[in-house]
Amino acid sequence: MKGDNLLMENKKLLDIFSGALAFFGGAILFGMSMNMFLTPARVVMGGATGIATTVNYLVPEIPIGVMIILINVPLMLLNMKTLGFSAMIKTLVGIVMSSVMIDVLTFFPVTIDDPLLCSVIGGITMGYGSGLMLTRGFTTGGSDLAALMLRRHIKRLTTGRLILIIDVVVVVGSALITGNYEGIFYSALSIFTYSAAIDSVMGGVDKAKMAIIISKKHEEIAKNISDYVNRGVTVLYGRGWYTKEESEVIMCVVKRYEEFRIKTVVEKTDPSAFMIFTDATEVLGAGFKNITEEAPAESRTGEDGAKKKVKLLRRKKADAENKAGVAESKTTESGSGNSENGENQN
């Protein structure tokens, strides 16, 4: 027993250490990306970072990190109910740490001044930094928080679409204010590489997680997942072997970067809920990869050929049935004609 307890304690310490390492490492990479690549090349990212960068261009005395915090604090307060206390604390810590690193790590040397290279390398560096923080449940806020707030009022658009719209508005607005229209291209490239880097850290854009949730508040959890995570939910019916009690089981498939949102929603709704997360190596269907994209061209051609054969066989069968019907009708007509002749003779 002592050995098991010691092993558990060591595992907890290792988790805490690895979590702290990922958090601080991610924040440092975030600050490096701004000071070494994006800010020197005047590349504007989306969200709060983009707004803060634009303000810094116009008023250099206002630090970018401080401005990011000032923008995110009202967004956090408006999303307090949605986030929950635990997620709000992690979001606040993530925003503050990444912002502090931007303002503190200004001593890093600027070795590249080409906007194209800066946008690519800066986007990758920031993406890896944000990804490391996201793996531990910390976020840098910005577009995510604004999208969560808008999602409650604009049901027609998904959270991802809202984030994209916000980023586009920020980038284009910055170009109009500063007159740097060429920067729109570099900003778009940087946002693309940033997203690709996050997907790489989080396990890939096509890979997913399957969540199994058991809770007495299954209806409320399912509604919150649908409203705030914008994912479909399937309710299964199960029965505990030991307790013999029947209960509803929620099954939901999400992208890897959405796993933390599911945990936040469940934790806020029912802290006593039982959750299982497992890797879904391949997910086909709405919200993920289209089924037709997975079928090779040859197999689709084969399927088309098989369909044509089926149609041809059906057509031949229909023709044969029609011919049989015509022959039968002719026989009936001839039989009735003979009977009539017989009656006339009589």
Query: Which CATH number characterizes residue 280's domain?
Result: 3.30.70.120
Q: Which domain holds residue 239?
A: 208-289
Q: Report the alpha-carbon distance of residue 320 to residue 313 in Å, rounded.
A: 10
Q: Does residue 85 share a domain with residue 68?
A: yes
- Does 217 fall in a domain? yes
Residues 281 and 250 in one domain: yes
Sign of the torsion formed by the C-alpha atoms of 72, 73, 74 and 80: positive
Mean pLDDT of 201-217: 78
Whether 183 and 159 map to the same domain: the answer is yes
Taking the alpha carbons at both ends of the chain, their separation in whole angstroms is 111
φ, ψ of residue 151 to 5 degrees: the values are -60, -30
Is 142 a member of any domain?
yes
Mean pLDDT over 17-37 rounds to 90
Looking at the whole model, is its pTM more than 0.75?
no
- Are 197 and 213 part of one and the same domain? no
The answer on 279 and 213 residing in a single domain is yes
330 inside domain: no
Whether residues 178 and 50 fall in one domain: yes
345 located within any domain: no
Q: Are residues 34 and 112 in the same domain?
A: yes
pLDDT the model gives residue 325: 57
Of 265, 289, 313, the one marking the end of a domain is 289
In angstroms, the Cα distances linking 185 to 115, 143, 179, 191 are: 10, 20, 13, 10
Measured distance CA(259)–CA(273) in Å, rounded? 15
Q: Is residue 337 part of a domain?
A: no
Q: Give pLDDT tens digits for 39-64.
A: 998 899 988 999 999 999 999 899 99
State which H helix or E strand residue 238 sits in.
Answer: strand 234-239
CA 116, 198, 174, 70 torsion: positive or negative? negative
191, two tokens = 């946002």
Confidence of residue 300 (pLDDT cuts 50, 70, 90): very low
Asked if 134 contacts 87 with a C-beta cutoff of 8 angstroms, the reply is no
Q: Are residues 83 and 219 in the same domain?
A: no
- pLDDT tens across 95-125, in order? 999 999 999 988 888 877 888 999 999 999 9
- State both tokens at 82: 């949605």
**Do 82 and 189 have their domain in common?**
yes
Q: How confident is residue 301, by pLDDT bands cut at 50, 70 and 90?
A: very low
Nearest 5°: CA angle at 151, between 148 and 157? Answer: 125
- The DSSP-derived string for 57-97 is HH-TTS-HHHHHHHHHHHHHHHTHHHH-HHHHHHHHHHHHH
Adjacent-strand bridge partners of 289: 284
- When pLDDT is cut at 50, 70 and 90, the band that residue 294 belongs to is very low
Domain count, the chain: 2
165-169, 207-211, 284-288 — most confident range: 165-169
Pair 105, 8 in one domain? yes
State mean pLDDT over 16-24: 85
Reported as a single tens digit per residue, the pLDDT across 316-335 is 666 666 655 545 554 445 55
More reliable by pLDDT, 53 or 296: 53
Residue whose pair of structure tokens reads 């250099």 in the numeric block: 60
Residue type, 271: P
Please indicate, yes or no, if residue 343 is contained in any of the structural domains. Answer: no
* 6 and 42 part of one domain: yes
**128 with 242, same domain?**
no
Residue 334 maps to a domain: no
Summarize the chain as % helix, strand, coil (round to 5).
Answer: 70, 10, 25
- Domain endpoint, select from 269, 289, 309: 289
Mean pLDDT of the chain: 79
CB neighbour list of residue 63: distance below 8 Å, 6 or more residues apart: 56, 102, 103
Residue 246 in any domain: the answer is yes
Q: Which of 267, 289, 311 is the last residue of a domain?
A: 289
Integer Rg of the chain from CA: 31
